[in-house]
């Protein structure tokens, strides 16, 4: 090998290192993307929850009763053992309890989101089995401990319930072309791409920007622009955006799972005050909290070893 050939070899060798490294990264990202796509496929292919037609007139007041509720997951001990309590409409009920004591499980059970729960739940004296699932959940709103915010902007994410309602109405009036054509996948793709588009103008009429703005401002979120991407929000901001969305749907019952956990005292007080006004307007509110009592709860109970005290 001549000196020139050796220098060329060394230069080409150096030039090839970075692309080969990048190729390695691309291959690893592609395998991650493949797993994600197959998980998305599993979700899209999951069977829809079976529901029945609405059976009672809306809206309801929010007197709620948990009666002899017991609960255990497939594995592990009892999470709740024969828990019963009543929350009158217009009151705010606080639930305390250690980590893993079953607080979130109790709320998801009442929202009929937890298939393992056994017991009776009533709203205004009517058993949950006499409602359709959709109707029950329109009245009983569960605000999860980890906010789930979808959409391109804060305004989109807050309007999601109205956007979905518009989409359901459109689908109900559209002919069922799946059965005729068997083109389930393309129809599904169409539905998803339309999710944040065609029904947005209807949703915007039903929930104007100003109402969203006022609700966020009342929670100390003056700094959140409605055009902001939801995934950029801090934990405390995301929790309040999620609360704003739920409060604006005006449920009869609000099940709030540690909504103020990531807030400073000042913002936690604003949130508590907004929820107190909702309770004064007739909403029944269950608040799971780890913070010291703030004097807003009508009653506070502690969940421990599957029992309330």
Q: Which residues bind ligand ATP (CB under 6 A)?
A: 73, 76, 79, 97, 99-105, 145
Check if the beta carbon of residue 215 is closer than 8 Å to that of residue 104.
Answer: no
102 binds, among ligand ATP, Mg ion, none (CB under 5 to 8 A by kind): ligand ATP
Question: Based on the number of CB atoms within 10 Å of its own CB, is 281 exposed (0-12), middle (13-18) or buried (19 or more)?
Answer: exposed
Q: Which does 79 bind (CB under 5 to 8 A by kind): Mg ion, ligand ATP, none?
A: ligand ATP
Pick what 273 binds: Mg ion, ligand ATP, none; C-beta below 5 to 8 Å, kind-dependent: none
Site string for Mg ion, 49-88 (x = CB under 5 A): ----------------------------------------
C-alpha to C-alpha distance for 253 and 278, rounded to whole angstroms:
10
Nearest to ligand ATP of 206, 261 (CB atom): 261
Tally of CB atoms within 10 A around 236: 20
Tokens encoding 163? 């956007």
CB 142 within 8 A of CB 107: yes
Task: Decide: is 104 part of the binding site for Mg ion (CB under 5 A).
Answer: yes
Q: How far is the CB of 287 from ligand ATP (least distance, A)?
A: 13
Between helix 154-173 and helix 209-218 the angle, nearest 10°, is 140
* C-beta contacts of 155-160 below 8 A and 24+ residues apart: 155/209, 155/212, 155/226, 155/227, 156/196, 156/200, 156/230, 157/230, 157/241, 157/245, 158/207, 158/212, 158/241, 158/244, 158/245, 158/248, 159/200, 159/203, 159/204, 159/207, 159/212, 160/245
Report the residue number, 103 or 167, with the smaller CB distance to ligand ATP.
103
Q: How far is the CB of 12 from ligand ATP (least distance, A)?
A: 55
The window from 101-109, 149-157, 187-195, 202-210 that contacts Mg ion (CB under 5 A) reads: 101-109
Nearest distance, CB of residue 257 and Mg ion, angstroms: 6
Minimal distance in Å, beta carbon 258 to ligand ATP?
A: 7
Which C-beta is closer to ligand ATP: that of 208 or that of 235?
Answer: 235
Shorter beta-carbon distance to ligand ATP: residue 59 or 100: 100
Instruction: Look at residue 139 and give the partner it binds from Mg ion, ligand ATP, none, a contact being a CB closer than 5 to 8 Å depending on partner kind.
Output: none
Considering beta carbons, is residue 104 or 246 the nearer one to Mg ion? Answer: 104
Residue 175 CB, nearest distance to Mg ion (Å)?
A: 44
Binding site for Mg ion (CB under 5 A): 104, 145
């Amino acid at each position: 090998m001549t000196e020139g050939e050796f220098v060329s070899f060394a230069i080409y060798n150096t030039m090839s290192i970075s692309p080969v490294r990048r190729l390695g990264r691309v291959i690893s990202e592609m395998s991650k993307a493949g797993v994600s796509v197959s998980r998305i496929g599993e979700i899209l292919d999951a069977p829809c929850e079976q529901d029945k037609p609405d059976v009672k007139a809306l809206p309801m007041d929010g007197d709620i009763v948990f009666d002899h509720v017991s609960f255990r997951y497939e594995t592990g001990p009892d999470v709740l053992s024969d828990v019963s309590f009543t929350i009158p409409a217009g009151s705010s009920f606080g639930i305390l309890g250690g980590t893993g004591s079953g607080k979130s499980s109790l709320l998801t059970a009442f929202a009929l989101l937890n298939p393992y729960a056994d017991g009776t739940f009533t709203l205004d004296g009517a058993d949950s089995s006499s409602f359709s699932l959709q109707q029950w959940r329109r009245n009983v709103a569960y605000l999860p401990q980890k906010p789930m915010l979808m959409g391109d902007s804060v305004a989109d994410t807050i309007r999601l319930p109205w956007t979905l309602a518009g989409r359901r109405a459109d689908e109900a009036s559209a002919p069922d072309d799946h059965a005729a054509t068997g083109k389930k996948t393309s129809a599904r793709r169409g539905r998803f791409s339309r999710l944040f588009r065609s029904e947005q103008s209807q949703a915007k009429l039903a929930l104007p920007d100003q109402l969203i703005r006022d609700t966020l401002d009342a929670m100390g979120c003056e700094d959140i622009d409605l055009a902001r991407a939801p995934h950029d929000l801090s934990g405390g901001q995301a929790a309040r955006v999620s609360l704003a969305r739920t409060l604006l749907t005006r449920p009869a019952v609000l099940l709030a799972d540690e909504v103020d956990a990531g807030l400073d005292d000042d913002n936690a007080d604003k949130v508590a005050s907004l929820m107190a006004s909702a309770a004064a307007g007739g909403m029944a509110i269950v608040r799971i909290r780890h913070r010291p009592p703030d004097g807003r709860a009508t009653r506070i109970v502690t969940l421990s070893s599957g029992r309330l005290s």
